[in-house]
Structure formats: structure tokens, C-alpha cells
């Protein structure tokens, strides 16, 4: 379980570091998905659920939320 959380966190750090050439919508989607995956895996692990399923659900929800926020930020500019 701890290996999964560490792996997701490390993958997230690497992915966020590669966001320099992306639009705000793309950055928001990527960041939201990574944060959502980490949060979903953590919550599932705490609740004695399947961390993989929690990560997948969290990534989808976080990605959608990040996309919407990134789109709003682009429209404000």
C-alpha cells in the first residue's frame, strides 16, 4: 500500500515538472488528475478499500475539475 502511494506521488512530481510547455487547461487537467489520484489512493487506503480503484476514480474526478479550472483561467486572460 505504501509503495503505491509513493509511486503515485513520485509519478505526480515527475509529471508536474514536465508542464512547462502546456496551456493552462492542459496543466490544470494534468495537475488535477495527479492530485486526485494521490488523494483517491490515500482515502481508499485509509478506508481499507482498493487503492488502485481509489486512484483511478480520484484521477478522473481530479482531471475533470482541473480541466474546468484551467479552462476558466484561460478565458479570464
Alpha-carbon distances, residue 70 vs 5, 21, 25, 29 (angstroms): 26, 14, 4, 7
Q: Check: CB of residue 47 under 8 Å from CB of residue 3.
A: no
The number of distinct structural domains making up the chain is 1
What is the extent of the structural domain holding 51? 2-14+23-76
Tell me the chain's radius of gyration from C-alpha atoms: 13
Grid cell at residue 76: 479570464
Q: How confident is the chain (77 residues) per 10-residue block, as mean pLDDT?
A: 69 65 86 91 89 91 94 89
pTM of the model: 0.71
3-state secondary structure of 34: helix
Amino acid 58: pLDDT: 92
Is 39 within 8 Å of 62 (Cβ atoms)? Answer: yes
Amino acid at each position: 500500500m505504501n509503495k503505491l502511494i509513493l509511486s503515485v506521488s513520485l509519478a505526480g512530481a515527475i509529471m508536474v515538472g514536465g508542464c512547462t510547455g502546456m496551456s493552462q487547461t492542459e496543466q490544470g487537467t494534468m495537475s488535477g488528475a495527479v492530485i486526485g489520484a494521490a488523494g483517491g489512493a490515500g482515502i481508499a487506503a485509509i478506508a481499507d478499500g482498493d487503492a488502485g480503484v481509489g486512484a483511478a476514480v480520484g484521477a478522473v474526478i481530479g482531471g475533470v475539475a482541473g480541466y474546468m479550472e484551467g479552462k476558466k483561467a484561460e478565458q479570464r486572460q
